[in-house]
Structure formats: structure tokens, C-alpha cells
């Protein structure tokens, strides 16, 4: 590709401005090609003839094949080359190889993208000749010539990373059109409206994507023209309208860049190629990668392909679809199309498309061929396919196939169905659903007994129900969400720049767009409730309101979306917990067949315990007894105990608490139906149960001002004195956990008595299964601490069982949450019957981070690469993980069958669960709603670590 000097000037100035606007690094390097030459080894001057120092040139990186051809009978790539060709390029190569009609083209590899960034936004010099070969390949198969005025070849330039990033990077269509080639195309097609429409699209897309001109500049021109001509649709514009618009568009380019719109087709291709590479690091792409844990060093491939046109008349069309319903998983053909349109019209939501089944009536032969091809693709890939197609004058072309994004409910159903269809194995089915995604299945749904006020209907684009305040821009969504507000993002239609707002929103509502629009596809991938294409509403984004019939919803008003039925409702509507499908039960049964880890839950109430059991919990791994103290009727008694002057008064208060604790434990034991229940004795420092110091000071001042009784004032002053007495500089490492139980053994006695009175009461009932209490002593750092508390537990337990004439099995163990406890685990294991890793505190003490304050800098650490991830979310394997490993090995060296588990927040994190499996723990414990996630993650840990054969 060789550009003239005049055109090179255009490249330099226009591309420089574009790069600046796209916030890409080092714009000068992107603006022109600079070949760096090594300096001469010897420099001589007339005066001195001295030798200059020798400067060695940097060794040149050897670049091999970086362009792969596809189309025709055989492609140079294959479907398993996603790392190099990206998902789209690998799919085009594979379709070529299995005989599916695709427009010919070539793929520039992801490696080239990385070289582009490494070399200051300059592509490697080996690229141009390989691209020239690719152009010749396309010219040969299409019998057209790139830039030829009579038989012009037009190209599309599309991104394509290894992992699907829908709409996050850039595309340029109709490349190769200029003031000369349009005349040849008109002569060839005898369809001047189609040609001018394509030229209009190209100038608009090139101006926005390559030259970084805001798309609203072009859209404003279009809207004014349609308003003047009294038309609504783009398809109603005449040739004269299009000529006028093209002229206006070119003027915008000239005004914004200082240069004419480039007419050299090679220059157009170079500039578009570099713009697509730059889009790998645009803000929305970076945000999407962070949200989906996609590495930033993969790079994107570029697919350059012969254009086929869906906008050549009523016998032409373009569409997208799925081989199964991506929302429900039902085995039914699913998709949308538009006649006389190009691809971006469908996904952008500019026109509301038709259901793909309508194509059977409009073009029955093409529809039949499309069904045959997509069925073949699904069987070939053995997974749901997301495909794009274009029909040009009755001839079908496939533009893309890739694994379809789907909701988790759909993923589970498809996985189960495909096992039944003998397309995949159970192991493959389990590995196709990410554990974290199961959270989507736990989304609430509208209470059927609710009587909502429905003001509009749209497409049920992504299931679930959500309520929140209406906001009309993504920036506002983020601002309100950061302030703790729940928001519903409302847009005319979303575009890739809305990714940050969509991420924080509870739900998404659009007035335009279909089931395969940007909003629908991204919402389903995120698990967000979405109603799309609600054409009954009129959205006024600038005025921050929408109107549905006679109802006006302004920013801040609360609305509710029902993404399962496509309904828009005023106010906050009541919801109920979801019902898990039969396929979910089958799928999770397969996971249970595989996993080795038991899954318990962290639960403090009978209600939480029942929820966890319904999700498959196999016991309680952490019951926090102190949470029970905060109930309104109990906190005064707790405070009485804390303020007591002596042990006798403390015991008096504890005797009042005993019935409450017994009732709590009885409810939990009944809910768990004989499964083990690990109960932690009191852990937090006592001052947490007392009123806030500032509030007490204000109360004292108020009492004095009101002339209250002296005794009342003295009582408040006594509370204040006790607060000050209990105040600690570092309470998380202060008087808490077993230290409280050692200082005030009567607290441990009361709690143990309540536990065993409840357990024995249930065990005596013939219809009930005896509970299995496991008493866990927190914050143990020395074996003597543990022995002290263990002795109290055993003494009281035996006393209660003797009094009730009931014998039950029980265990006494400890939390390993202090580094010293881990390092001396062999000493503790001589007396403990189980260890449970309290990784929240263990992480805090291993790092020296306060978990309450570390949030201020941990994100900065991750952004700067100092931490790979948040250690309070995923276990830090090199540090905290090593402490756990030491404790496991030391504990089992003394007591081979000691029970080992984890009960910190990490117990629900899939990455941490994998590590727990590798350590050989017996169980993990997590919050009730993460139990299904933990069950699947435990199965993944087995399947990822071994060659496992399922029955």
C-alpha cells in the first residue's frame, strides 16, 4: 500500500487528531511510519577525526506469518487457533474448511496487534506485503479489484479478540468507496440508491471510528434531513437526500480534521486497520476486560473481508441469530433480521428488526439454507452458536459464528439438553458453566400476588426483576451507584460506551433495539435484568425523563423492570425468591457426583439455615453467636452484662440471655436436620455492644439541661466510663475471641450451656435426628488458650448431657486465624478435633492490613500491579496460602483424621475453593446464596486438576 505525498499528509494530520481523541498513547507514532535505522558505527568530522562511540542497533524482532487467508475451498487457519486468529477469525477459517459460504478475506493476527503497541503504534514492516497477498486472494475469488473504478472491491475491517467482546472494539464497513468507485459500482449494480447509501454509511463510520469525530455530528445531519423531508426511516431517503448528506458529512470531516475525506483506498485501509488496533485499548474495551477478567495482553486480530450487501433492495437482508434461545435455553431457532439494511442497523437498535422466523415467508429458500447451515454449525462446535449473516440479492453469506453468550439459566438448560442429545459429556457440561455465573439464577422475580402498575411493554431481553431510580446517562448511573443508590439505566438505545453505566445498574431499559441489540446481548452476559425495544416509551435523554402514555418518569423516580416478561412498572414492586428449574437440580447433581469438598454455609438464624439447605448446604461451617445479641430485646441485657461490677452480676445478666440463645440454637439445629453445625463462641470486643460514645455524651448533656434526676445522670456516666475503659487502639487485635472467654469464663459457660440444652432437647424427640454441634474457639494463638476454653466446653457439655440423660456426639475445635496458630498447629492439634481457617483475620494479620481500612488503597495497588487481586476476595496463595499449608501439614502430622475446613469469605470464592481442594480440606463454608457456586466450583477443582471420568 503506497500513498501519495498529498494523502500521506492527510494521514499524518487526521490520524494524529484521531489518536488524541481516542486517548491512545504517543499519537505521533500512530500518525506516520518511521523506520528507525541504527546509527553508523563510525562518525568522522573534518576538525577532529575522532571516533564516535559505537552504538549497537537493537536486535530486530523476527516476524513470521501474520496474515492468514480464508474463503474459497480451504483456509490457512483452523477453528482451534483463537489465540492467534481471535474468535471471529478462527470461526471464519473453520467455516471455510467445512464448506460453509463465507465472503473471502484474511485475518491479521493478534500477535501483530501486540507488535503494533510495542513499536509505538507502528505496524511491523512485514505486514504490508502479506496484506497485499491477502488483497490479491480476495480479488481473485471475487473477480473484483481494490480501488478499480469499474469493478471495485469493497472491504469490511472488523476486530476479533480471542474472547468475545460484543461492540467494545471498532468496525469499518464499505471501505474502498470514493468519488470514482461509486460511479463504477452504480454502473455495475444499476442501483444508485444502494451505492449512495453505502457511501453515506462509510463516510459516517470512517469519520467516527478512524477520525474520532463524535457520531452525534453525523446523526444530527441525518435527523434534520429526515425532519425536513417529513420521513421517519433511513430507508425512505432518496438518492438526492443521500447525496446531500454525503456532502454535509464530508464538510464535517474537513471542518474537524482540516483535511478532505481520503480518496486513496490504500490509505483508507491503513488508517482503518490502525484504528481497529487502537480500539483494543479504548476505555470501553478496557472496562469490559476488567469486568470479565480478560487479560489486556491478548491483543485483537483484524478480519479484512470482501463486503456483501444486505442493503441492495428487498431481496437483500442482514441478520444475527442463535441456534437456541440464549435467554431460556429452549431448542428453538432464535434471531432477528432487517431487509435492505446493513449489519450495524440490527445490533445498534436503530430500527426494530423482524423475528427470524418471518424470513421463512419472505425468502423461503434462503431460510431453509440458513437453518441447514446453522444446524451443521451447532453440531460441529457442539455448543450454541451466535451467527451473523447477510443476504445479497437472494444469495446467503455467513459472516461469523462463535459460541453464543447466554444467561446462566439458559447455559444450564443447554448443557443438560446437550448431554441428553449425546452432543457433549457430563464433564463438558459442568465445565461450560462458570461457578460465579450461578448467582444469576438466584435473582428475584416479581411476586405473582403483586398488583403493579404496568406503563409499558418491551422485549424480554434478559430475565429477572429489578427496581431502582431512573437515570438517563451512564455517567449519572455510576455517580448515583457510588453514592449507594440503586439505579435503572434508561437509554434510547445503548452503545458500547455505556458499558460502565450498565455495569452498575440494577437493570436496563431501552426504547429501541431488539433481542440481539447491544443492550440485550451485554445485559444477558452480565446477568442484568433488561427490557429492550419498549417503543411505547419516548425517551428524552437531555431532559432526563421518559413518557409512557400519560405517565412521566423523571430522573430519581423509582421504577421496576420485569425482564422475564418485558414489563415496565412504576414504583418498587414486591419480589420473591427464584424457583430453580429441574435442569438445575440435574446439573448440580452431576457436580455433587464429582466434587470431593463438602459444602457448608455461614448462617446465624433458622431462616438462613433453611435457605442454605434448599441450595444444598451439608451443614453449617460458621454460626456467629454474637450476631444473636444485637436483637432489640437482647441488647439491653448484653449491656447489663458488660456493665456488671462483678461476676455475680454478670452471671445474672447471662442467665437472662440463656433462653434466647437456647431458642436460637434449637431453631438452627432443627433446620439442619442432623447435619453438623459449627458454632463459634463470642468473638468481637465487648465495646461493640455498647452505645456510641458521642451519643452517650449528648444524652448526658441533655439530661443535665433538662434537670434530670442525679441517679439517671450517674447511670449514663457509668456507661460512658465503661465505654472509655473498654476502648482500644486496635480492637481487631485486642480483647476479643478466646481472650474474652478466658477473662470472663462465665460467657463461654453460658453459650455452651445454651448449645447443649438445645441439642439435647431435640435429640430426645423421637421424630428428630440428633444434632451434631461443633464448638469452635476463635482467635487462638497458643495451645494453652485453646485448652482453657476446651476444658470449659467439655465440663459444661458433660454436665448438661448428664442432667438431661441424653448423649450426643460433639466436637471441640478452633479457628486458625492467627499466624502463630498456623505455625504451631501441631501443638493445637493434640487437643483440637477440627480446624477451620478464618481467612479474613488470617489475611489481615499476615499482610498487616486492616480489612476495614485497606479498601482505600487495595484498588490502587491492583491498578498499579502491586497486588494481582484483592487478598480479601481470593486467597493469597504465596503468603496466606503457605500459612494454611503449614497448618494442614502440622495438624495432620499429629492427628491424621483431624477435620479441616474454611469459614472466611473466601469459602465462596471459586479461585479460593480450588486452592482448598488442592490443600485437601474436608469442607468450605460460605454464605447461603453462594452454596450453589461453591458446589460447582468444587467440581471444577476436581475436573481441572485430574483426568476425571464421569459415569
Annotated active-site positions, please? 518, 903
3-state secondary structure of 320: strand
Burial of 441 (0-12, 13-18, 19+ CB in 10 A): buried
Contact 115, 63 (CB under 8 A): yes
In eight-state DSSP terms, residue 627 is G
> How far is Cα 657 from Cα 661, in angstroms, rounded to an integer?
6
- Percent helix, strand and coil across the chain, each rounded to 5? 50, 15, 35
3-state secondary structure of 945: helix
Contact 777, 789 (CB under 8 A): yes
Joined together, the cell numbers standing for residue 624 give: 456467629
- Nearest residue to 527 (alpha-carbon basis) of 441, 455, 469, 457: 441
To 10 degrees, the CA torsion angle through 750, 752, 755, 756? -110
CA angle in degrees (0–180, nearest 5) for 30-32-33: 100
> How far is Cα 442 from Cα 570, in angstroms, rounded to an integer?
23
- In the sheet that holds 567-570, the strands lie side by side as 454-457, 567-570, 558-562, 465-471, 487-491, 507-510, 529-532, 459-462
What DSSP assignment string belongs to 62-74? Answer: P----EEEESSS-
Contact 827, 804 (CB under 8 A): no
Output the 3-class SS for 85-106. HHHHHHHHHHHHHCCCCCCCEE
| CA 329 vs CA 152, 292, 377, 411, 443: distances in Å | 43, 22, 17, 7, 17
Contact 619, 672 (CB under 8 A): yes
Pairing mode, strands 385-392 and 395-403: antiparallel
Which helix (DSSP H) or strand (DSSP E) does residue 28 occupy?
Answer: helix 27-31
Close Cβ partners of 43 (under 8 Å, ≥ 6 residues apart):
51, 52
Residue with grid cell 414486591, as numbered in its chain: 574
Output the 3-class SS for 525-594. HHCCEEEECCCCEEEECCCCEEEECCEEEECCCEEEEECCCCEEEECCCCEECCCCCHHHHHHHHHHHHH
| CA 175 vs CA 72, 203, 370: distances in Å | 21, 9, 27
- 152 pairs with which residues across the strands? 145
Contact 837, 902 (CB under 8 A): yes
> How far is Cα 878 from Cα 869, in angstroms, rounded to an integer?
13
- 776 pairs with which residues across the strands? 680, 813
CA angle in degrees (0–180, nearest 5) for 638-640-643: 110
- Nearest residue to 84 (alpha-carbon basis) of 123, 114, 105: 114
- Cα 636 versus chain centre, distance: 44
Pairing mode, strands 385-392 and 317-322: antiparallel
3-state secondary structure of 449: coil
> How far is Cα 801 from Cα 807, in angstroms, rounded to an integer?
6
Amino acid at each position: 500500500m503506497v500513498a501519495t505525498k498529498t494523502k500521506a499528509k492527510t494521514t499524518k494530520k487526521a490520524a494524529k487528531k484521531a489518536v488524541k481523541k481516542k486517548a491512545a498513547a504517543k499519537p505521533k507514532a500512530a500518525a506516520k511510519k518511521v523506520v528507525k535505522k541504527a546509527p553508523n558505527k563510525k562518525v568522522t568530522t573534518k576538525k577532529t577525526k575522532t571516533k564516535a562511540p559505537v552504538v549497537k542497533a537493537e536486535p530486530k524482532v523476527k516476524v513470521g506469518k501474520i496474515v492468514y487467508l480464508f474463503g474459497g475451498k480451504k483456509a490457512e487457519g483452523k477453528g482451534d487457533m483463537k489465540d492467534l486468529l481471535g474468535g471471529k477469525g478462527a470461526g471464519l477459517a473453520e467455516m471455510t474448511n467445512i464448506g460453509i459460504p463465507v465472503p473471502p478475506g484474511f485475518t491479521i493476527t493478534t500477535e501483530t496487534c501486540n507488535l503494533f503497541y510495542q513499536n509505538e503504534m507502528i505496524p511491523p514492516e512485514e505486514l504490508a506485503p502479506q496484506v497485499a497477498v491477502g488483497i490479491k486472494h480476495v480479488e481473485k475469488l471475487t473477480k473484483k479489484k481494490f480501488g478499480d473504478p469499474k469493478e471495485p472491491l469493497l472491504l469490511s475491517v472488523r476486530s476479533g479478540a480471542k474472547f468475545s467482546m460484543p461492540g467494545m472494539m471498532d468496525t469499518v464497513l464499505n471501505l474502498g468507496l470514493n468519488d470514482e468507485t461509486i460511479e463504477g459500482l452504480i454502473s455495475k449494480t444499476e442501483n444508485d440508491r444502494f451505492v449512495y447509501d453505502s457511501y453515506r454509511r462509510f463516510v459516517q463510520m470512517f469519520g467516527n471510528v478512524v477520525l474520532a469525530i463524535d457520531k452525534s455530528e453525523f446523526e444530527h445531519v441525518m435527523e434534520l434531513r429526515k425532519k425536513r423531508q417529513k420521513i421517519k426511516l433511513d430507508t425512505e431517503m432518496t438518492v438526492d437526500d443521500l447525496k446531500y448528506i454525503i456532502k454535509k458529512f464530508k464538510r464535517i470531516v474537513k471542518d474537524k480534521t482540516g483535511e478532505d475525506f481520503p480518496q486513496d483506498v490504500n490509505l483508507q485501509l491503513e488508517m482503518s486497520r490502525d484504528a481497529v488496533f487502537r480500539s483494543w485499548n479504548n476505555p470501553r474495551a478496557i472496562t469490559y476486560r476488567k469486568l470479565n477478567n480478560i487479560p489486556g495482553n491478548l491483543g485483537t486480530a483484524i478480519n479484512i473481508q470482501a463486503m456483501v450487501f444486505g442493503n441492495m433492495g428487498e431481496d437483500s437482508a442482514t441478520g444475527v441469530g442463535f441456534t437456541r434461545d440464549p435467554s431460556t435455553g429452549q431448542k428453538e431457532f432464535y434471531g432477528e433480521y432487517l431487509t435492505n439494511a446493513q449489519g450495524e442497523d440490527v445490533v445498534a437498535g436503530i430500527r426494530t428488526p423482524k423475528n427470524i422466523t418471518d424470513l421463512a415467508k419472505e425468502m423461503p429458500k434462503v431460510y431453509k439454507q440458513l437453518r441447514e447451515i446453522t444446524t451443521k454449525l451447532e453440531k460441529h462446535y457442539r455448543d450454541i452458536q451466535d451467527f451473523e449473516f447477510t443476504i445479497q440479492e437472494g444469495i446467503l453469506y455467513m459472516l461469523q459464528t462463535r459460541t453464543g453468550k447466554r444467561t446462566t439459566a439458559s447455559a444450564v438448560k443447554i448443557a443438560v439438553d446437550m448431554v441428553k442429545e449425546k452432543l457433549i459429556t457430563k464433564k463438558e457440561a459442568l465445565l461450560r458453566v462458570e461457578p460465579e455465573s450461578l448467582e444469576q439464577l438466584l435473582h428475584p422475580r416479581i411476586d405473582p400476588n403483586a398488583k403493579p402498575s404496568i406503563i409499558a411493554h418491551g422485549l424480554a431481553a434478559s430475565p429477572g426483576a429489578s427496581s431502582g431510580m431512573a437515570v438517563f446517562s451512564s455517567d449519572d448511573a455510576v455517580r448515583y451507584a457510588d453514592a449507594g443508590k440503586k439505579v435503572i439505566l434508561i437509554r434510547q438505545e445503548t452503545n458500547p460506551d455505556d458499558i460502565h453505566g450498565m455495569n452498575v445498574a440494577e437493570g436496563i431499559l431501552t426504547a429501541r433495539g431488539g433481542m440481539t441489540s447491544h443492550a440485550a446481548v451485554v445485559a444477558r452476559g452480565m446477568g442484568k435484568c433488561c427490557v429492550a425495544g419498549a417503543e411505547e416509551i419516548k425517551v428524552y435523554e437531555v431532559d432526563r425523563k421518559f413518557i409512557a402514555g400519560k405517565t412521566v418518569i423523571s430522573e430519581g423516580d423509582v421504577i421496576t423492570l420485569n425482564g422475564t416478561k418485558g414489563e415496565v412498572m412504576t414504583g418498587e414492586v414486591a419480589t420473591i425468591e427464584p424457583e430453580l428449574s429441574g435442569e438445575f437440580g440435574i446439573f448440580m447433581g452431576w457436580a455433587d457426583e464429582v466434587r470431593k469438598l463438602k459444602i457448608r454455609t455461614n448462617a446465624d438464624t433458622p431462616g438462613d439455615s433453611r435457605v442454605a439447605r434448599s441450595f444444598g448446604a451439608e451443614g453449617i461451617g460458621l454460626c456467629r453467636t454474637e450476631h444473636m445479641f444485637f436483637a432489640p430485646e437482647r441488647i439491653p441485657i448484653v449491656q447489663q452484662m458488660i456493665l456488671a461490677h462483678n461476676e455475680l452480676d454478670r452471671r445474672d445478666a447471662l442467665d437472662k440471655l440463656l433462653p434466647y440463645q437456647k431458642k436460637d440454637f434449637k431453631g438452627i439445629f432443627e433446620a439442619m436436620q442432623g447435619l453438623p453445625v459449627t458454632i463459634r463462641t463470642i468473638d468481637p470486643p465487648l465495646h461493640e455492644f455498647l452505645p456510641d460514645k458521642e451519643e452517650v455524651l449528648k444524652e448526658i448533656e441533655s439530661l443535665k439541661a433538662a434537670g434530670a434526676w442525679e441517679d439517671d445522670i450517674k447511670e449514663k456516666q457509668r456507661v460512658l466510663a465503661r465505654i472509655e475503659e473498654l476502648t482500644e487502639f486496635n480492637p481487631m487485635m485486642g480483647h476479643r475471641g478466646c481472650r474474652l472467654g478466658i477473662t470472663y469464663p462465665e460467657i463461654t459457660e453460658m453459650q455452651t450451656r445454651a448449645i447443649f440444652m438445645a441439642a439435647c432437647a431435640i435429640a430426645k424427640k423421637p421424630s428428630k435426628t440428633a444434632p451434631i454441634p461443633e464448638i469452635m474457639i476463635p482467635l487462638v494463638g497458643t495451645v494453652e488458650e485453646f485448652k482453657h476454653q476446651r476444658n470449659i466446653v467439655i465440663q459444661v457439655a458433660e454436665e448438661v448431657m448428664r442432667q438431661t440423660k441424653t448423649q450426643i456426639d460433639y466436637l471441640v475445635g478452633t479457628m486458625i486465624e492467627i499466624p502463630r496458630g498456623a505455625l504451631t498447629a501441631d501443638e493445637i492439634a493434640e487437643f483440637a478435633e477440627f480446624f477451620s481457617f478464618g481467612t479474613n483475620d488470617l489475611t489481615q494479620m499476615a499482610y498487616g492490613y486492616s480489612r476495614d481500612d485497606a479498601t482505600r488503597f487495595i484498588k490502587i495497588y491492583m491498578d498499579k500491579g502491586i497486588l494481582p487481586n484483592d487478598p480479601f476476595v481470593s486467597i493469597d496463595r504465596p503468603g496466606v496460602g503457605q500459612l494454611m499449608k503449614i497448618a494442614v501439614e502440622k495438624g495432620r502430622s499429629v492427628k491424621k483424621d483431624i477435620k479441616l475446613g474454611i469459614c472466611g469469605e473466601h469459602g465462596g470464592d471459586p479461585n479460593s475453593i480450588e486452592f482448598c481442594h488442592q490443600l485437601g480440606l474436608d469442607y468450605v463454608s460460605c454464605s447461603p446464596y453462594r452454596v450453589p457456586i461453591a458446589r460447582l466450583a468444587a467440581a471444577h477443582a476436581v475436573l481441572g486438576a485430574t483426568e476425571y471420568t464421569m459415569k
